[in-house]
C-alpha cells in the first residue's frame, strides 16, 4: 500500500486528502499480485487474482473509488459509459456495483466475449446495464466516443468514461510494475517486461512508471494479429485497421486509444520509442501451441493473452541472450475456459 500510495500521490496532488487516498489505494489492491518464476530467465506477473479475475480490476477499483469521492455531494446521477472487449466491462461493473448515484452502461460486441465474461457483464443487474452491440470492440468504442462528443446528451446527463481514456483507470496501473520490481530478485539487472497489448493502456502505464524512475530494461508490446503498433515500429507508418477476432479477444483492437499517450511520453520521437519498446505479433495457432508448451514444460496454465506475452518475451530473449524478463499474465485462464482446456488437454478449476 505504501508503494502504491507514493506512486499515485503526485498525480492526486491536493485534490484528495492523503488519508482518503491511502484508503482508496488499500481497497484497490486488496488481492495478491505474485511474481511466479517459470525458468531462470522468465517470470509471470499474475494480475488475475482480483474479483473479476483480470488486471483491469486494479484500474476499475481505483477509478470507482475516485468517482465515489468526487461525486459524493452531487445531486444528479453519474452515468459511467464503457466499451468493452471483454474484461473491462466486468471489472467496471464489479467496481461500481451497488454504488449509490452511479449507473453503469456497458457496450459489448455480440458473440465476441467469452461465456464467463458475458455472465460477468450481464448478470449483476441493479445499476449495471449491458448493451449487446452488433459489431466489434472498435464499433462499441466509437459509439462511446460519439456519446461524449454529443453536446445535447451531455447537457442532459452527467456522462463519464471508464475506459482507459480515463486517467483514473490508467494511472493506477503503474502500481503493479512497482510490485513486480519489489519481487524481482536480480536487482542489478532490470527486467524486460512483456505486456499483452490491445488498447495499449497497460503498457503505457508501464512506460510512465519507467519515466518516473522504475528500472525497466525494455518493454515488449505483445500483440495478436492485430498488429498496428508492431507494424508502426517496423515501418514508421501508423495505419489503423479493422479489428480481427482472435482467441486473445481483449486485444482485438484495430486503433488503440492510448497510442497517442505513448507518443506523447516519447515526444513523438519514433527513435526513442524503438529504444524503449519492441513489438511482436502472435497468431492464434502459436497462442494455442504456447499454452500447450507452458503446461507441458512448466506445468503452468496460461490464458491466451498471457501466452501471447510469454511467446513475445521468449522471442525477444532469444535475440538478447543475457536479458531476463517478466510477462504480465493479464487474465485468469478460466475466463477463456474452452480454449484453454482444449489447448492444455485437461480440466481447470473455476475459483
Ligand atoms: C484489456 C486486456 C488486455 C489489453 O490491455 P490494454 O491496456 O488494452 O492494452 C490484455 N489482456 C487482457 C486479459 C485484457 O483484459
pLDDT tens string 223-270: 999 999 999 999 999 999 998 999 998 899 999 989 999 999 999 999
Which of 229, 251, 334 most suits a substitution to test ligand 1, by most atoms within 8 Å of the C-beta?
251
Quote the percentage of the chain above a pLDDT of 90.
84
Cell 497510442 identifies what position?
Answer: 259
Protein residue whose Cα sits closest to atom 3 of ligand 1: 250
Sign of CA dihedral 291, 56, 154, 132: positive
**Ligand 1 lined by 202 (C-beta under 6 Å):** yes
Number of Cβ within 10 Å of residue 261's Cβ equals 19
Sheet of 78-83: strand order equals 128-133, 102-109, 78-83, 158-161
pLDDT band at 70 (very low <50, low <70, confident <90, very high): confident
pTM of the model: 0.93
Q: What is the pLDDT of residues 74-87, one digit of tens each?
A: 888 899 999 998 78
User: For ligand 1, is residue 194 a contact (CB within 6 Å)?
Assistant: no
Distance (Å, rounded) from C-alpha 345 to C-alpha 311?
20
- Measuring CA to CA, which residue among 68, 56, 54 is closest to residue 24? 68
Rounded average pLDDT over 73-100 = 88
Mean pLDDT across 113-122: 90
Q: CA-to-CA distance for 160 and 150, rounded, in angstroms?
A: 13
Nearest CA to ligand 1 atom 2: 250
User: Shortest CA distance to 120 belongs to which of 54, 66, 46, 174?
Assistant: 54
CA distance 16 to 335: 35
How does 32-48 read in b/e, with b if 16+ C-beta sit within 10 Å? ebebeebeebbbbbbbb
Cα 17 to middle of ligand 1, angstroms: 31
Q: How far is the CA of 197 from the centre of ligand 1 (A)?
A: 6
Ligand 1, atom 8, lies closest to the CA of: 199
Mean pLDDT of 170-176: 97
Which residue has the least CA distance to atom 14 on ligand 1? Answer: 250
State if residue 257 touches ligand 1 by the CB under 6 angstroms criterion: no
Place of cell 521468449: 314
CA of 183 to the centre of ligand 1 (A): 22
Q: What's the mean pLDDT when you consider all of the chain?
A: 94
The pLDDT of residue 257? 87
Report the separation in Å between the CA atom of 14 and the middle of ligand 1, taken as the mean of its atom positions. Answer: 31
Asked if residues 174 and 205 have their Cβ atoms less than 8 Å apart, the reply is yes
Let me know if 77 is a catalytic residue. Answer: no
- For ligand 1, say whether the CB of 54 is within 6 Å of any of its atoms: yes
3-class DSSP assignment, residue 196: strand
Of the listed ranges 37-46, 65-74, 148-157, 250-259, the least confidently predicted one is 65-74
Mean pLDDT for the stretch of residues 304-310: 98
Closest Cα partner for 233 from 203, 268, 277? Answer: 277
Is the CB of 164 within 6 Å of ligand 1? Answer: yes
Mean pLDDT, to the nearest integer, of 11-40?
96
- pLDDT at position 313, please? 98
Ligand 1 mean position, distance from CA 330 (Å): 7
- Catalytic residue chosen out of the listed positions 56, 112, 295, 324: 56
Amino acid at each position: 500500500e505504501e508503494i502504491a500510495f507514493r506512486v499515485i500521490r503526485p498525480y492526486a496532488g491536493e485534490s484528495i486528502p492523503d488519508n482518503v487516498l491511502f484508503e482508496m489505494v488499500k481497497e484497490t489492491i486488496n488481492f495478491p499480485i505474485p511474481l511466479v518464476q517459470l525458468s531462470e530467465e522468465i517470470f509471470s506477473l499474475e494480475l488475475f487474482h482480483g474479483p473479476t479475475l483480470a488486471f483491469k480490476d486494479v484500474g476499475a477499483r481505483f477509478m470507482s473509488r475516485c468517482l465515489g469521492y468526487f461525486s459524493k455531494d452531487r445531486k444528479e446521477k453519474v452515468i459511467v459509459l464503457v466499451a468493452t472487449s471483454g474484461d473491462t466491462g466486468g471489472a467496471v461493473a464489479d467496481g461500481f456495483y451497488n454504488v449509490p448515484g452511479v449507473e453503469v452502461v456497458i457496450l459489448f460486441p455480440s458473440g465476441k466475449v467469452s461465456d464467463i465474461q458475458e455472465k460477468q457483464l450481464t448478470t449483476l443487474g441493479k445499476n449495471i446495464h449491458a448493451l449487446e452491440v452488433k459489431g466489434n470492440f472498435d464499433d462499441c468504442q466509437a459509439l462511446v466516443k460519439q456519446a461524449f462528443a454529443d453536446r445535447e446528451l451531455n447537457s442532459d446527463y452527467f456522462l463519464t468514461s471508464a475506459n482507459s481514456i480515463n486517467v483514473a483507470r490508467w494511472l493506477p496501473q503503474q502500481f503493479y510494475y512497482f510490485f513486480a520490481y519489489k519481487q524481482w530478485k536480480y536487482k542489478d539487472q532490470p527486467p524486460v517486461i512483456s505486456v499483452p497489448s490491445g488498447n495499449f493502456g497497460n503498457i503505457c502505464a508501464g512506460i510512465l512508471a519507467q519515466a518516473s524512475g522504475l528500472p525497466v530494461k525494455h518493454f515488449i508490446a505483445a500483440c495478436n494479429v492485430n498488429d498496428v503498433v508492431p507494424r508502426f515500429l517496423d515501418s514508421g507508418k501508423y495505419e489503423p485497421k479493422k479489428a480481427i477476432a482472435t482467441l486473445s479477444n481483449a486485444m482485438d483492437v484495430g486503433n488503440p486509444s492510448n497510442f497517442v499517450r505513448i507518443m506523447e511520453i516519447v515526444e513523438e520521437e519514433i527513435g526513442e520509442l524503438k529504444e524503449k519498446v519492441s513489438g511482436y505479433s502472435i497468431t492464434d495457432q502459436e497462442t494455442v501451441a504456447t499454452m500447450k508448451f507452458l503446461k507441458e514444460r512448466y506445468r503452468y496454465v496460461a490464458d491466451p493473452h498471457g501466452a501471447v506475452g510469454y511467446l513475445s518475451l521468449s522471442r525477444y530473449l532469444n535475440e538478447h541472450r543475457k536479458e531476463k524478463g517478466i510477462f504480465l499474465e493479464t487474465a485468469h485462464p478460466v475466463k477463456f475456459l474452452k480454449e484453454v482446456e482444449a489447448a492444455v488437454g485437461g480440466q481447470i478449476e473455476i475459483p
